[in-house]
Chain A
Amino acid sequence: EPEVTQTPSHQVTQMGQEVILRCVPISNHLYFYWYRQILGQKVEFLVSFYNNEISEKSEIFDDQFSVERPDGSNFTLKIRSTKLEDSAMYFCASRLPTGYEQYFGPGTRLTVT
């Protein structure tokens, strides 16, 4: 069964460093999302992306964040200058053009020290 994949599974970085989290959505999906979950808290929406454009973003998704679909298979989230409070589990999700259910990847645990 097709699934969303994410790399790396765990990323440790120092405060102020740039990180890129990578996702490979399910192949025939056209809508892509990033969410994050701080330990013990709710899953929070960051950004949605369709047709090479951001379609919606949350207040969390400020100028330090960016997304890109560099080729036909990858979808990336970049954090330019990481802060301690960026430490969280980051989930990528994708969905078909038909139907609204989103399928999530296994997540990347980001630890900022």
Chain B
Amino acid sequence: EDQVTQSPEALRLQEGESSSLNCSYTVSGLRGLFWYRQDPGKGPEFLFTLYSAGEEKEKERLKATLTKKESFLHITAPKPEDSATYLCAVQNIKAAGNKLTFGGGTRVLVKP
């Protein structure tokens, strides 16, 4: 069974204080690893897809990396508007419907 574990559960940062979020996964065959941002009471907002170990993707202050067992989301010089829950999800290459299996998320609070 596919499993995704995210750490830490919560992260409090000062504005400008860079940090990294971890996503550890177990999947029999990885089609892709996805990062989403979720604001309170809203739907997940797509950020990145990573398909193979060594791949990196960047968007503004966010950078996602992938190894064979985990993915990191690096937040560089965060701003208060980066406060959100960041979700990691995997897609198994054997899944007929391409479902996403999510981790529990990391709640990030950036204080000015």
Contacts and interface: CB of A to CB of B under 8 A. Distances in A.
Interface residues of B, number: 25
B44 A43 contact: yes
A104 B43 contact: yes
Interface in A85-113: 89, 91, 95, 99-107, 109
B50 to A, nearest CB: 11
Contacts, number: 71
Interface band, chain A: 20 to 34
Q: Taking chain A's interface residues, is the majority helix, strand, or loop, or is none over half, making it mixed? A: strand
Interface in B34-63: 34, 36, 41-46, 49
Interface in B87-112: 87, 89, 91, 95-105
A65 interface: no
A104 B45 contact: yes
B43 A102 contact: no
B31 A33 contact: no
14 contacts: A31-B98, A41-B104, A43-B87, A43-B100, A43-B102, A45-B99, A45-B100, A48-B96, A55-B97, A56-B96, A56-B98, A100-B91, A102-B34, A102-B46
Interface of A: 4, 31, 33, 35, 41-45, 47-50, 54-58, 89, 91, 95, 99-107, 109
